[in-house]
């Protein structure tokens, strides 16, 4: 049994109201808790991004998770996993003070949790990372005293926790987790606060926009499911490339800008240009796909959420 077996019964409504990446992280955390019991500590959300891990054991094992919301080609998956590993390992190495304050041994084992093992080169990459990180530790043992000299880096697929997954299914815990992961993509105070800051609006207006963005986000998820189910993978790949470009551009242009009037102008220009570009690329190809797929608020919502 692995994570795909777990989510299979939810397939019909998975893209309508559940964040699969959030569910994967929550389920893997529960697996570690079952395996290591009181030896395991799950980090609060406020610390996960800072430390680059989901949780740790007193014996010195730490883990992080990777599960994309949507289908990824092997090259894309490899690049994204490498970037995640790089960023999270840098955070791990930089936070010795936190780990030295915990009731745990030095960190000797780093896990990258994935749904299923695919031979796309990540294990080979981690062996190189392992050698490099040990050299870094040797070069400055005081600075990195929270890291063991012989630290190892492993790709760990969910199938290795088959018995723990079965226990979660039998106990009904999976149902609880899936319920908790509904609407975590957007609905919540964190997302509303971001809208308030970016657009300089009050609570009531932010609440209304949160609902609008959430509806469009869910519509986008349903549309992606449609493209995948109907095997429109060329359209899917092209659309995702276009949307990712615009999300990155929007982030780059608004990052660090405090003037809300400038934000408003940038976002307005972004919306107009994206709609124009999308229409040119896809409207003539398939009117139904255009009507069914992205509205600008999908990209806006995802950009603000992340």
User: What are the tens digits of pLDDT across the range 27-77?
Assistant: 999 999 999 988 999 998 878 889 999 999 999 999 999 988 666 788 888
Q: What is the pLDDT of residue 201?
A: 76
Confidence (pTM) = 0.63
Token pair of 129, please?
A: 């990372």
User: Could you tell me the residue ranges of all domains in the chain?
Assistant: 3-180, 189-305
Count of Cβ atoms closer than 10 Å to residue 274 Cβ: 23
Which residues, at least 6 apart from 117, have a Cβ–Cβ distance to it below 8 Å? Answer: 155, 157, 159
Q: pLDDT tens digits, the chain, 306 residues: what are they?
A: 777 777 666 544 434 456 677 889 999 999 999 999 889 999 988 788 899 999 999 999 999 999 886 667 888 889 999 999 999 999 999 999 999 999 899 999 999 999 888 878 999 999 999 999 999 999 999 999 999 999 999 999 999 999 999 999 999 898 888 877 764 444 455 667 766 766 677 888 877 777 777 666 666 666 666 665 666 666 666 666 666 665 666 556 555 555 555 555 655 565 566 566 655 655 554 444 444 344 445 555 555 544
Do residues 238 and 302 lie in contact, with contact meaning Cβ atoms separated by under 8 Å? Answer: no
- What is the model's pLDDT at position 16? 42
**Helix, strand, coil tally for the chain in percent (to 5):** 70, 10, 20
| C-alpha distances in Å from residue 186, one per residue of 37, 41, 43, 162, 196 | 32, 26, 21, 31, 14
């Amino acid at each position: 049994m692995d994570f795909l077996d777990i989510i299979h019964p939810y397939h019909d409504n998975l893209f309508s109201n559940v964040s699969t990446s959030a569910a994967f992280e929550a389920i893997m955390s529960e697996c570690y808790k079952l395996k290591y019991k009181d030896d395991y500590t799950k980090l609060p959300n406020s610390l996960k991004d800072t430390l680059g891990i989901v949780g740790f054991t007193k014996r010195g094992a730490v883990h992080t998770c990777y599960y994309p919301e949507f289908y990824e080609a092997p090259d894309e998956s490899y690049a994204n996993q490498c970037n995640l590993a790089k960023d999270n390992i840098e955070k791990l190495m930089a936070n010795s003070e936190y780990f030295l304050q915990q009731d745990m041994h030095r960190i000797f084992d780093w896990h990258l949790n994935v749904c299923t093992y695919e031979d796309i080169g990540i294990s080979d990459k981690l062996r190189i990372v392992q050698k490099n990180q040990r050299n870094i530790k040797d070069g400055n043992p005081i600075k990195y005293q929270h890291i063991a000299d012989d630290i190892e880096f492993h790709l760990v697929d969910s199938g290795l926790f088959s018995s723990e997954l079965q226990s979660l299914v039998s106990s009904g815990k999976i149902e609880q987790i899936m319920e908790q992961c509904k609407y975590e993509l957007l609905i919540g105070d964190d997302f509303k606060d971001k809208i308030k800051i970016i657009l300089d609006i009050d609570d009531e207006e932010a609440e209304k926009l949160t609902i609008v963005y959430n509806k469009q986000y869910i519509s986008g998820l349903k549309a992606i499911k449609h493209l995948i189910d109907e095997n429109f993978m060329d359209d899917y790949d092209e659309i995702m490339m276009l949307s990712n470009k615009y999300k990155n551009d929007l982030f780059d242009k608004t990052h660090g800008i405090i003037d809300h009037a400038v934000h408003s102008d940038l976002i307005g220009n972004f919306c107009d240009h994206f709609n124009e570009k999308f229409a040119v690329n896809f409207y003539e190809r398939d009117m139904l796909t255009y009507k069914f797929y992205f509205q600008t608020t999908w990209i806006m919502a995802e950009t603000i959420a992340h």
